[in-house]
Structures are given as structure tokens and as C-alpha cells.
């Protein structure tokens, strides 16, 4: 049985590719994006199966209006894909206040408000699934991506809690965690002006690696999207979905190191209990 999907950030990257793949499979898609004209040709090809709506992730009122219009058009939405977002690049000291505010308003607050907006509709229809496109950067960290990581670690923590709140309404979540993937993500980075004092630090080395192309990107966008779609229609999908060998290796290494550190502190931790 075909499903109906709501996808934010459908103008490019993984969101655009997922929209195209789902339409090709005969699914219905509501594509929400800041510039609806970017899907004009696609809409002409899929008149009955594609609904394009404007959305602004940093404007909660219009976001809620878009969600209401999406459910009004579809009647039922089976999978909500929270994909809209971008990367902010630079050492924390290099970033300006406006860059920080926009990054968190889009990636974190916007994703939170999207989820909050769809929950009443999913609850009333008897359930549904939310696929949050996070990143390996929701579990690990690179220099120069501090605010991007803050947004991804933040949304993963939010979903950890909300998934428990709504499980009894048959609403569940998948957190997709792709590693570096060939999507044009790097080209779309909002980059801070570099400070010379960071030139010979981990921050400067990361900047050089990204600008020179040395930073390895081995994730395949087509395979990544196909796996997200396949998992989204499984009866019991994984809660967290690492995608790509880089993501798997980096997350595993980070979790093992964290566990080792935690276990070494057991005596200290327990010593602070009330006696």
C-alpha cells in the first residue's frame, strides 16, 4: 500500500533526492521548502502525487500553517521527514551572533517546532512515523562545526525524550545519522571569517582540509536515501540509523571511548550518593 510523505528541505541534497525517488515509486509526497519554484518541473510531471508548499523553518507560525495545509491536502501522512538544515563552519570564536542564531533557529528550533506541529495530527490519525535527518555529528564532533553539532546533539536529545512521550500513540521515530556524503553540503556551508590565530590549530587544519578537498567524503547519496526510505517503511525500524562506513566507525569509536571513561569514574560517581 502506497504511503504519503511530508519532506522538509526538499529543494536539494538528500531531501530532493528522496522526493524524486518516492515519486518514482508511486508514493505521494508533500514537499515543503523555502523556494517552491525549485520543484516546478517536478510538479508538472507528478500533478496528482506531488504537493509543493512553502515553509520557513525559522517562522513557527507559518511552519504550523504549512503543516495544517499538508494534512488537509493529504488526509493522512504516514512519514514526516524532518530534513531541512545546513552547516555553519568556523571556530566558535570566529562565528558572529547572527550566524549562531540562524543555525540554531533552523536546525534545532525549526526541527523541534516541526515535530511539535505534526504530533497532534499524527496522534489523531492513530499514529505515524517521524524520520529526523541528523548526522554522525549528532554523536561525535569535528572542530569548526561546534554550532552545527550543538543543533544535531540537541535535536537527538529532544527526540530521545519525545519518543517516550508519544510511543503509546503509535508514533515512532528514526534518527538518521549519515556520515560525510556527496550531497553538496560542503558547498552550502555558511563560513565564518577565519582568525589568523587559529591557522596552526585543529580548526585551521580542518579549514584547509575542507577547502582543499582532503576531507574524505565517501557516502553515496543515492544509497543513503534508499536506505532511509527502506527503513522508514519497516515495521520495526532502528531508532538510530548510522549511514556510511565513516559514520559507523566514528560513532563506534566515540561511544567506546565514552563508555571507557564512564566506567573509570564509577567509584567517584557513586561516592556522591546520600549515605
pLDDT (tens digit per residue) in 6-42 = 999 999 999 999 999 999 999 999 999 999 999 999 9
pLDDT for position 181? 86
**Whether 155 contacts 138, CB under 8 Å:** yes
Determine what percent of the chain is predicted with pLDDT higher than 90. Answer: 92
Confidence of residue 1 (pLDDT cuts 50, 70, 90): low
User: pTM of the entire structure?
Assistant: 0.95
Burial profile 216-244: b = 16 or more Cβ within 10 angstroms, e = fewer = ebebebeebbebbbebbeeeebeebbbbb
All cell numbers assigned to 149: 553539532
Class of domain 4-249: alpha beta
Q: Is the pLDDT of residue 211 over 90?
A: no
Instruction: Give the residue ranges of DSSP H helices in the chain.
Output: 13-24, 40-45, 60-74, 97-103, 110-124, 146-166, 202-212, 221-232, 245-264, 266-270
Rg of the chain in Å (alpha carbons): 20
Query: What residues act catalytically?
Result: 134, 148, 152
Averaged pLDDT, 192-209 = 96
d(CA 58, CA 101): 10
- With both helix axes pointing from N to C terminus, report the angle between 221-232 and 13-24 in degrees, rounded to the nearest 10: 60
Amino acid at each position: 500500500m502506497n504511503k504519503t510523505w511530508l519532506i522538509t528541505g526538499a529543494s536539494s541534497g538528500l531531501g530532493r533526492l528522496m522526493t524524486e525517488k518516492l515519486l518514482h515509486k508511486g508514493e505521494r509526497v508533500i514537499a515543503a521548502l523555502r523556494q517552491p519554484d525549485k520543484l516546478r518541473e517536478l510538479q508538472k510531471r507528478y500533478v496528482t502525487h506531488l504537493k509543493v508548499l512553502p515553509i520557513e523553518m525559522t517562522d513557527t507560525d507559518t511552519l504550523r500553517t504549512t503543516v495544517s495545509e499538508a494534512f488537509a491536502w493529504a488526509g493522512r501522512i504516514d512519514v514526516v521527514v524532518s530534513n531541512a538544515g545546513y552547516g555553519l563552519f568556523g571556530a566558535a570564536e570566529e562565528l558572529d551572533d547572527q550566524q549562531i542564531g540562524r543555525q540554531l533557529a533552523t536546525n534545532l528550533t525549526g526541527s523541534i517546532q516541526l515535530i511539535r506541529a505534526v504530533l497532534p495530527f499524527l496522534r489523531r490519525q492513530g499514529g505515524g512515523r517521524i524520520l529526523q535527518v541528523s548526522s554522525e555529528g549528532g554523536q561525535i564532533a569535528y572542530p569548526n562545526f561546534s554550532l552545527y553539532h550543538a543543533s544535531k546533539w540537541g535535536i537527538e536529545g529532544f527526540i530521545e525524550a519525545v519518543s517516550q512521550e508519544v510511543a503509546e500513540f503509535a508514533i515512532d521515530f528514526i534518527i538518521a545519522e549519515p556520515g560525510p556524503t556527496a550531497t553538496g553540503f560542503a558547498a552550502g556551508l555558511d563560513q565564518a571569517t577565519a582568525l589568523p590565530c587559529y591557522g596552526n590549530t585543529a580548526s585551521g587544519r580542518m579549514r584547509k582540509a575542507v577547502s582543499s578537498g582532503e576531507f574524505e567524503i565517501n557516502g553515496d547519496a543515492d544509497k543513503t536515501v534508499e536506505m532511509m526510505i527502506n527503513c522508514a517503511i519497516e515495521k520495526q525500524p532502528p531508532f538510530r540509523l548510522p549511514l556510511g562506513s565513516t559514520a559507523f566507525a566514528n560513532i563506534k569509536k566515540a561511544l567506546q571511548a565514552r563508555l571507557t571513561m564512564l566506567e573509570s569514574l564509577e567509584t567517584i560517581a557513586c561516592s556522591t550518593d546520600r549515605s
